[in-house]
Structure 1
Amino acid sequence: MAKGYWVGLVDVDDPEAYKAYVRENALAFNKYGARFLIRGGQANKVEGKPRARTVVIEFSNYQTALDCWNSPEYIAAIALRENVSTADIVVVEGYDGPQPTDM
């Protein structure tokens, strides 16, 4: 079964206030077994229009990723970031098919 992922591009306008969102989202992420693969860090824009931070969070499967997004715990966290950041986030199913070396 393919894993599920959240992919987010985020600009944080108020880093101090954003810390409350980070503390709160940990409740949902712990409950749903989330694992950060990318959480900010160095990036180099090579194409398109990125934001300041890129975040990729892995879940055991796509449904779990959706369940976390829709959970009461995460909905409460979203309210804490509404006026302190701007984010584009997608929940996406991973890929288990052939890779270029397998073709």
Structure 2
Amino acid sequence: MTKGYWVGLVDVSDLETYKAYVRENAIAFKKYDARFLIRGGKVEKVEGAPRSRVVVIEFPSCQTALECYRSPEYQKAKALRDNVSTADLVVVEGYDGLQPGQGS
């Protein structure tokens, strides 16, 4: 089964309230077997206009990633984030095809 991912670009205006969101979102992420691949960290702009935080979260499937986002647990957490951050978030299906050098 192909994994699913949340890819988020986020600017935070109130770090203390955002910390409450982080504590609350752990409930949904645990329930839906989420795993952080990128969570903040140093960002170097090479193209475009990134936000200050980059987050990539892996889920067992794209369907699971969508279910997590739509869940009451995550929506409760999201309500804490809505007024203290600006975010671009997409749910994307992983890729299981050929990689460079593996043939045609």
TM-score, reference length from structure 1: 0.98
Instruction: Output aligned runs, 1:1-103, within 5 Å.
Output: 1-103=1-103
Q: Residue type of the partner of 2:49?
A: K
Shift of 1:100: 1.1
Question: What SS does the corresponding residue of 2:73 show, helix, strand or coil?
Answer: helix
Counterpart code for 1:46? V
TM superposition shift of 1:101: 1.2
**AA of the residue aligned to 1:73:** E
Measure how far apart 1:43 and its partner are: 1.3
Amino-acid identity (%) = 73
* Paired AA for residue 3 in structure 2: K
Matched letter for residue 72 of structure 2: P
- Give the drift of 1:82: 0.9
CA RMSD of aligned residues (A): 0.6
Instruction: State TM-score, norm by structure 2.
Output: 0.97
- Give the match's secondary structure for 1:102: coil
What is the CA distance between 1:24 and its match in structure 2? Answer: 0.7
CA distance in 1, matches of 2:68, 2:101: 34
- Matched residue count: 103
In 2, distance between residues paired with 1:48 and 1:4? 24
How far the C-alpha of 1:65 sits from its partner, in A, is 0.4
Unpaired stretches in structure 2, ≥5 consecutive residues: none
Q: 2:34 corresponds to which letter in structure 1?
A: A
Residues 21-70 of structure 1, C-alpha deviation per residue, up to 9 Å, x if partnerless?
00110000000000000000011100011000000000011100000000
